[in-house]
Chains A and B, each alone.
Chain A
Amino acid sequence: MEQVWEKAYNFKEVMNKPERLAGGHRMCAGCGGTVTVRTVLRALEEGDKAVIGNATGCLEVSSFMYPYTAYEDSYIHNAFENAGATLSGVETAYNVLKKKGKIKDNYKFITFGGDGGTYDIGFQSLSGAMERGHDMVYVCYDNGAYMNTGTQRSSATPQYADTTTTPAGKVSSGKVQVRKDLAAIIAEHHVPYVAQSTFTANFKDLYTKAQRAIYTKGPAFLNVLSPCPRGWGYEPSELMNICRLAADTCYWPMFEVIDGKWVLSYEPKNKLPVEDFLRPQRRFKHLFKKENEELIGELQAEVDRLWEALKKRCEL
């Protein structure tokens, strides 16, 4: 049987599906998080019911401000660190109520968290939910810092980024550490599906990965680079270009881990230098001072190292 994610991708058709995140929410122009949510929810088959979960963050406070919700589906926000556990409870309730014949419809379970709520404070709750095998999708919209509270450093923040808690200064070059590789960590939970994506030209990569995540039985994790214009310092209109540069510099590799097998989704024809990704962003501005040249070299070396390691994992 052909799986939903194996169907030919028709951009026009996909974009014409009804929106499940209504307009009028309060997210910023040029926000990647909202694009991630819309693309992932679009991957639900029309007619399929869903419960959407959400960790506290920009997305939650901007899309469900009482008494208005932007979601066309049932939705639950609980707190910052427990999107995984909360949806575990919803999904378990579904299973038992279905078994007892109290509900008849089919539901899918998708939860969204920013990198702060996913890599850091919600890490344990996410790990538990993945390990227990709930049939749900956890989507991290990774913008590389605590954006809702004003761009504080998270463990997803790239090295040398200027954040409000790792400011570049006279004796500081921004964040000291490299970012945590969360997709690999969740893959080590031996869940059936993990993928890393972002939105490139026609949204095919994220859309089909979301389909696969939603329609694969068991826990799935999507890590989606979702730029933040305020935290990163780019023009809102540059959103898609930033994502493309993240992919083409191999700063943000796109891959899948399907039942433990690593598959590379995209290999740029011309791998661009990482500084092409860094240059349009205010958070890396300090790296382009003369005295910091070697830091860009360090970042390039780290990108190259991870890229080679990923290709090895994908047996390329």
Chain B
Amino acid sequence: MNRLALLISLFFAVVSGLAQAGPQIERWQTPSGVEVLFVENHSLPIIDVQVDFAAGTAREPEGRAGVASLTRTLVDLGAGGMDETQIATRLADVGARLSGGVDMDRASISLRTLSMRDKCAPAFEILKAVLSQPHLPVVAFDREKARSVSALKEALTRPETLASKAFWAAMYPAHPYGRHATPESISALLHSDVLAFHAAFYSAKQASVAIVGDLTRGAAEALAADLTSGLPTGSPSPAIAPPSLPEAVEKRIDHPATQAHLLLGLPAAKRGDPDFFALATGNYSLGGGGFVSRLMKEVRDKRGLAYSVHSYFLPLQQPGPFQIGLQTKKGQADEALKLTREVLATFLEHGPSDAELRAAKQNLIGSFPLRLDTNRKILENVAMIGFYGLPLDYLDRYPENVGKVTSEEVRAAFARHVRPDHLVTVVVGGE
């Protein structure tokens, strides 16, 4: 190899090194039509699999709030001829862990297993049964329903739960994101509601699969094909309607707690929004950057009004909330609320200072490796990319996209997405 060729190959090595900020993600479809994203990583003898269905709470039929969560709970409590004890026992025997949950958009089923053949094969067999042959047994339905009611009744005595429920209801009036389960709605659920919900939303067309860890592409393809082979084809879930923006409103709810809980926010941005990087970078300076954010400095450091104060964007299929949250001694709730509104108003008017923007970029770009330094974190990111159909180079281009953001873009993006005339405020407790 002559010197020029060496230089060129070095140049390409450097360039590709820069372009490849994230892990190498591979994408394909199973024979059953399920989208699969895969990251091969042999550094540990672990395999993680996550299957997401478009079966979140936003899909619940009117009057059936609670059915999404109960359905997800039931899918692994008996499947493929095994009862719930057999499933849990066999998983424990090989040290595998099945977990998951439900949010507004997604119902997730995750499996973590060791990669040795004798450990992972039984675990995959169980996951396959859970995906395609769940029993959804009546006995477990009755019991889990009662447990959900107990847990929810307890949660509804807590100021943070009351605040959160009232907040979502006020942000999303007449929209599925604003509906929430109550002890009454769960109690009224019938076993047939779970069967119907499962039949409607747990199909190949509504699924995406993410696989990370100690297996080859070939093995991952075979695994994904096998896991999803028993899924009914189904049809894609209909689009969730976009929410309309609420009128600015302030809700006060009495509570005897020593602290008042404050939430401010509105529906703001969806996944894949072109403003996402400007919003995320700006939010770092406002209230996302932990100890160095403006809200933290003003509310906590200068005045000692709260232990924790934060702001964030939660992008969903449809615009998810921008949210500011804090808790403060009940006698000073109004002072803290006034201050928080001032900090927000100032930020909306002027955007971040040059120094703040620089600090935000330094951290968001510099900390990028920390977002991807475990298989677990890689899985979460890859599953999110797959479920929401984000571009495969989303992670690779993340540092570059943050780096491009200007102060004016932050100000303009916040002006578009965080409009004070639609800002909802909820205060639980206080005097």
Check if A and B associate. no
